[in-house]
């Protein structure tokens, strides 16, 4: 069935509501828009699906949510785990509560008990809840820090980790096998409640989650004492972090957490920011103004589903500087390992985890404390897999894991990045160094002084629609076929192709296999010791280029980054048909 036939089916079919049909009528003369909405099904990838909200097979709506839920229900049933149930949470985005309820009622229609949170909750609490409630799977309705026009559907396995590759492939097959939307059983809410196939989750899981987070504190006694005078500005960016981040900080001893009032309450339009993304300094404009007014050194901000956190700190000149995800991760890694070593609680079989595009500085920090650093593909599920394979089995003890995109996890209570526990630990770290007369920016400079100055950067290119996806695919094919051995004046020492699972060393001529799972990623190591990596997004028509350089000083590293970036983009942009 081509896109036009799909459009006519949705426009005139009896199984679609009036609002959907009215929306589709409004685009009747826009052939390009019709094609974009119906040329494919919204892709259910390794982590679930994410897309623009609207009518059509290539959009997030109640019908595509039902299809995804039916596929997941079929998988749960085939695994013999229907009796365990499925936990479901949602963020403050448009249609999030409705999509969460659709998910729950499809589960109920399949005889699977749905544990639906009563109101919005952070994504990491959903990961925790799956484990705490003993569920077969979990779903959270969120588009993370994407713009307001988006929503998404993320799936978790029974250990609270996003689906690993083998299981995600099985779920994807089940979702793709659902071709007739009219056959999906959707139970009435009252009936689901009456038959105990819908359970509303309330404060009891919040309480258990809070208790689990407190166990991750490195020095709770110090926090209780110093927290009385410690002052932090916090913004939830209109998202799910508001209540629980404030609660955990209050319960561990902070008495002066200042909330950005304009961004305190849920707002699906994210009306005070261009994008609710704590990776961007613009998201902190109001928070910085409040910190300046109140003379506060540290600002925390969580994204709408509270799995990522951004940090702004005051430097010695009195200016507020935003920390990168790599900088915050290195600060936390150094703090956790150094303090555990000082307290005698760092185990001999300790390990930490980073992704392949995360700073190499973390490798130096881990080595100093005798901690094994494991490298995984981009995506927090791969960090969760390492916890399951090593910590759960008793082989090694997990200390910390992070990725450059502002996601961190300490503790094993959840198996996804957790901005709530991260806020708690960043606040603890701030108190510790304040007691020593240092700011977090001072500590970061100390780290650079000890290990060398590193800088990382990202270039992200979004190419819209079907043509954008095709351009990205062609660019990756061209890089593989052409096998460039230089980018500008920068010679390539080695290239790792994670899709072909092979590493080619251009200096020695050796070719070796890669042990990490297959993924559409190219990683280039330069003769200079610097690196860059290119990978398409798995959820949207976007391609990212990651860079990592080092130097004796910040000036050296900044120049190295500029030179490498120029050489790389001279090759990459023409492949993407960009000026």
Q: How far apart are CA 230 and CA 238, in angstroms?
A: 24
Query: In the sheet where 350-355 sits, what is the strand order?
Result: 372-376, 350-355, 397-403, 407-409
Strand partners, 542: 462
Q: How far apart are CA 378 and CA 507, in angstroms?
A: 27
144 among known catalytic residues? yes
Which residues are CB-neighbours of 274 under 8 A, at least 6 positions away? 280, 282
Residue 304 tokens read as: 């709408």
Strand partners, 552: none
Q: How far apart are CA 294 and CA 233, in angstroms?
A: 9
Q: Which of 144, 168, 405, 422 is catalytic?
A: 144
Query: In 43-80, which positions are buried (b, 16+ CB within 10 angstroms) versus exposed (e)?
Result: bbebbbbbbbbbbbbbbbbbbbbbbbbbbbbbbbeeee
Instruction: State the DSSP H helix or E strand holding residue 89, giving kind and residue range, or none if neither.
Output: strand 86-90
Residue 143 tokens read as: 């588009």
Q: Are 93 and 142 in contact (CB under 8 A)?
A: yes
Radius of gyration of the chain (CA): 24
| Active-site amino acid positions | 144
């Amino acid at each position: 069935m081509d896109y036009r036939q799909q459009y006519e089916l949705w426009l005139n079919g009896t199984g679609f509501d009036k609002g959907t049909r009215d929306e589709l009528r409004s685009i009747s003369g826009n052939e390009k828009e019709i094609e974009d909405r119906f040329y494919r099904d919204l892709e259910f990838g390794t982590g679930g699906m994410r897309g623009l909200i609207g009518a059509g097979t290539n959009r997030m709506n109640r019908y595509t949510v039902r299809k995804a839920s039916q596929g997941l229900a079929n998988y749960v049933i085939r695994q013999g785990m229907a009796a365990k149930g499925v936990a479901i949470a949602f963020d403050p985005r448009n249609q999030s509560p409705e999509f969460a309820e659709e998910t729950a009622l499809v589960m109920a229609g399949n005889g699977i008990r749905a544990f639906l949170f009563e109101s919005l909750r952070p994504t990491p609490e959903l990961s925790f809840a799956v484990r705490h409630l003993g569920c077969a799977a979990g779903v959270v309705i969120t588009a993370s820090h994407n713009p307001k026009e988006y929503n998404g559907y993320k799936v978790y396995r029974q250990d609270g980790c996003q689906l690993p590759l083998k299981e995600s492939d099985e779920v994807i097959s089940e979702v793709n096998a659902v071709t007739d939307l009219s056959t999906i059983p959707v139970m009435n809410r009252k009936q689901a409640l009456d038959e105990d196939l819908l359970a509303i989750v309330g404060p009891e899981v919040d309480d258990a989650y809070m208790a689990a987070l407190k166990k991750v504190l490195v020095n709770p006694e110090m926090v209780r004492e110093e927290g009385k005078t410690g002052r932090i500005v916090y913004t939830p960016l209109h998202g799910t972090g508001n209540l629980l981040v404030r609660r955990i900080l209050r319960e561990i001893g902070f008495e002066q957490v200042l909330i950005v009032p304009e961004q305190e309450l849920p707002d699906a339009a994210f009306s005070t920011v261009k994008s609710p993304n704590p990776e961007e300094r613009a998201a902190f404009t109001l928070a910085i103004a409040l910190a300046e007014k109140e003379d506060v050194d540290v600002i925390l901000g969580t994204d709408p589903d509270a799995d990522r956190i951004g940090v702004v700190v005051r430097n010695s000149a009195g200016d507020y500087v935003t920390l990168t995800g790599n900088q915050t991760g290195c600060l936390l890694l150094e703090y956790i390992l150094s303090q555990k070593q000082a307290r005698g609680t760092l185990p001999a079989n300790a390990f930490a985890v980073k992704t392949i595009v995360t700073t190499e500085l973390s490798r130096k920090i881990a080595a100093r404390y005798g901690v094994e650093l494991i490298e995984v593909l981009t995506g927090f599920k791969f960090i969760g897999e390492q916890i399951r394979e090593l910590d759960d089995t008793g082989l090694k003890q997990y200390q910390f894991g992070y990725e450059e995109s502002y996601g961190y996890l300490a503790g094993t209570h959840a198996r996804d990045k957790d901005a709530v526990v991260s806020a708690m630990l960043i606040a603890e770290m701030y108190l510790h160094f304040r007691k020593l007369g240092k700011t977090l920016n001072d500590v970061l400079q100390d780290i650079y002084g000890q290990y060398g100055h590193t800088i990382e950067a990202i270039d992200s290119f979004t190419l819209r629609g079907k043509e954008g996806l095709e351009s990205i695919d062609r660019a990756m094919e061209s890089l593989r076929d052409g096998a460039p051995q230089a980018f500008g004046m920068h010679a390539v020492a080695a290239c790792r192709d994670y899709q072909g699972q092979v590493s080619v060393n251009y200096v020695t001529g050796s070719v070796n296999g890669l042990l990490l799972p297959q993924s559409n990623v190219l990683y280039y190591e330069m003769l200079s010791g610097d690196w860059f990596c290119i990978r398409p997004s798995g959820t949207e028509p976007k391609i990212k280029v990651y860079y990592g350089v080092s130097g004796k000083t910040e000036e050296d590293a900044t120049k190295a980054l500029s030179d490498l970036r120029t050489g790389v983009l001279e090759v990459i942009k023409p492949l993407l048909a960009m000026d």
